[in-house]
Structure 1
Amino acid sequence: MTQDVVVGETAPRPKKKTNFFQRLWANRIFLLLVAPGTIFLIVFFYIPVLANVVAFQNFQYSDQGFLYSLFHSPWVGFQNFEFFFKSADFWIVLRNTVGYNMIFLLMNFFFAIFFGIVMSQLRNARLLKVYQTSMLFPYFLSWAILAYFVYAFLSTDKGILNQLIQAMGGKPIDFYNTPAVWPFILIFLGVWKGIGYNSILYFATAMGIDPSYYDAAMMDGASKWQQIKNVTLPHILPVAVLMLILNIGGIFRSDFGLFYLIPRGSGTLINVTQTFDTYIYRALTTTNDIGMSTAAGLMQSVIGAMLIVVSNWVVRHVEPESALF
């Protein structure tokens, strides 16, 4: 048999293989765009990871510099971890860190989705901007500033709340020496400050849903709640699961400003405000035990990474499309 050859047509030429450097040059513009962020991550995140070896040393700082101290400090293995686990503060720190973060995780998850959906249903553009701005504004205030606002409310002699209590014939409350009220104060402030920022992603996801889905639901006679239940929630579920997995990874970390600056470092409140981050800070400033502090920080990172892997494994077996990897 002979192949028919079409006159005037030529066979397609095989593509030339490009090497690594040619691909780099072809994508040089995009690489330059990501270069600042990449350099920042390498310098401030990846290189410092090597210093975690301090967690396994009895670190003794020398006048000859950090690197000299790092290579000449005696090796103690897991003694720093053992000392941290056996300390009287460990269970208090663990209870507070995990307990607060579990509450923050659930409440932020619920309220962020709720407000994100509510804002997506608003049709008044001006009113929507007012709500978004008012909800997002607290996120941009530092805890140092908010600490003074909270003190203006809770101060024993000049606080607004105590002035109201005294005006109604009651006795002023020394909030900064009353541990029982602080879990509620910290939870309220943590949710209030982050609710606007956390709801943005769900709002953007809900606004990106094709309007034809809502039109079809209305044609079938679906109420507003049924539209949210059958259209909005299924579309934002993958994003919600992704954010849940990432937040679970930070369950052993806490906001230092919230738990240290807001209570103004009060020693009386330490049983209800002490978390891993404040414990590490106090250990560095009072005992100067760098090895034990590094061990606590390393434990946070390792457990956080394990929690992300485990939670992603569970999601991948329940809802594979919503898994992170």
Structure 2
Amino acid sequence: MVGGFLKDVVKNKVFLLMVLPGALWFLFFSYIPMFGTVIAFKEYRFSRDGFWASIVNSDWVGFDNFKFLFSTNDAYIITRNTLLYNIAFIVLGLVLSVVMAVVLSELVNKKLAKVYQTGMFLPYFLSWVIVGYFAFSFLSSQRGMLNQVFAYFGWEPVQWYSDPKFWPYILILVILWKAVGYNSVVYLASIMGIDKSLYEAAMIDGANKWQQIRSITIPMLSPIITIMTLLAVGKIFYADFGLFYQVPRDSGTLYSVTNVIDTYVYRGLKTTGEIGMSTAAGLYQSLVGFILVITSNAIVRKYNKDGALF
């Protein structure tokens, strides 16, 4: 049995070397840190004896660290914001990414399509700090571009960083601008893999472009759409920290619409220094995400086995 295993390793050594960096990344950043989840149930205090000795010597506190998330007045707000924003990101991001992929695939000039694709792909690589300053250049109360336009037309300037009602739309717009181009690549690659003879047969039958997209492109994309949606559902209790912290510039007047679980935990950790509390929040998010993925996958598998993750 060992000899057969070694033979398979030697036979597939090139492919194993290709996946080795990714496997090591998951090992060091996803699996080994799982041993640290015990901190969520302890009053962690770092000592000179080292990290592991500090974990062993810290006192057990049970579920007290979890009370930080659920026993405060902000628990409802941060949970509501995290869920609603992520639902909007998933739905709108999916629709716009698929639309963008379909539009790019239909462009006759492929060189021009690559230029458009590169232009939409670029924002994904910008850090949230840079994006936050971009947003500030538009929304600054004194020198912001939008307020200068308003002043030109004789309108009153808007205090963007003091008025919460605008920020749900601003945050959704910013995340879509940054992520849609990147996400559309997956769907564009899937479209490129569709058998061209299907479109040729549809054209012979008299189908126009919209009918081809509706009857061929979208159904052929449904498996990858399902998989991407399932993966996104698993992170529905996670919020993009940079988006909700850097873009609103940590403005206290906007907390009602920008405060999510991740930013709330960060501010609590910065104030109290309780590592156990932040670990409990991460464990809670991971556990809920795991349950959602398993549940969603079971529902999908019940109606479409080919579209399920496992």
1:200 equivalent among 168, 174, 185: 185
What is residue 233 of structure 1 aligned with on the other side?
Answer: 218
What is residue 8 of structure 1 aligned with on the other side?
Answer: none
Q: What TM-score do you get using the length of structure 2 for normalisation?
A: 0.96
Q: Give the deviation of 1:219 after TM superposition.
A: 1.0
2:110 equivalent among 109, 121, 125: 125
1:294 equivalent among 255, 279, 289: 279
What is residue 9 of structure 1 aligned with on the other side?
Answer: none
Amino acid of the structure 2 residue aligned with 1:89: D
**2:269 matches 1:284:** yes
CA offset digits 1:146-175 (Å, max 9, x no partner): 111111111111111111222222332221
Please give the alpha-carbon distance, in whole angstroms, between the structure 1 residues aligned to 2:4 and 2:119.
53
Unaligned runs of 5+ in 1: 1-15
What is residue 155 of structure 1 aligned with on the other side?
Answer: 140
Unaligned runs of 5+ in 2: none
What is residue 10 of structure 1 aligned with on the other side?
Answer: none
2:4 equivalent among 15, 19, 31: 19
2:152 equivalent among 158, 167, 182: 167
Please give the alpha-carbon distance, in whole angstroms, between the structure 2 residues aligned to 1:216 and 1:26.
42
Q: Give the deviation of 1:324 after TM superposition.
A: 0.6
1:66 equivalent among 38, 51, 56: 51
Amino acid of the structure 2 residue aligned with 1:130: V
**2:40 matches 1:55:** yes
Amino acid of the structure 2 residue aligned with 1:251: I
Q: Give the deviation of 1:144 after TM superposition.
A: 0.7
**2:194 matches 1:209:** yes
> CA distance change for structure 1 residues 33 and 115 in 2, over 3 Å: closer, same or farther?
closer
> CA distance change for structure 1 residues 94 and 222 in 2, over 3 Å: closer, same or farther?
same
What is residue 310 of structure 1 aligned with on the other side?
Answer: 295
CA contact (8 A) 1:246 1:308 kept: yes
Amino acid of the structure 1 residue aligned with 2:138: F
CA contact (8 A) 1:280 1:297 kept: no
Matches within 5 A, 1:76-225: 76-225=61-210
Dislocated runs of 4+, deviation >6 Å: none
CA offset digits 1:105-158 (Å, max 9, x no partner): 100111111111111111111221222122112111111111111111111111
CA contact (8 A) 1:92 1:271 kept: yes
> CA distance change for structure 1 residues 297 and 17 in 2, over 3 Å: closer, same or farther?
closer
- Once structures 1 and 2 are overlaid, which stretch shifts more, 183-192 or 79-88? 79-88
Q: Give the deviation of 1:199 after TM superposition.
A: 0.8
Please give the alpha-carbon distance, in whole angstroms, between the structure 1 residues aligned to 2:215 and 2:158.
49
RMSD over equivalenced CA pairs, Å: 1.6
Secondary structure of the structure 2 residue equivalent to 1:19: helix
- How many correspondences in the alignment? 310
What is residue 25 of structure 2 aligned with on the other side?
Answer: 40
Secondary structure of the structure 2 residue equivalent to 1:172: coil
Q: Which has the larger radius of gyration?
A: 1
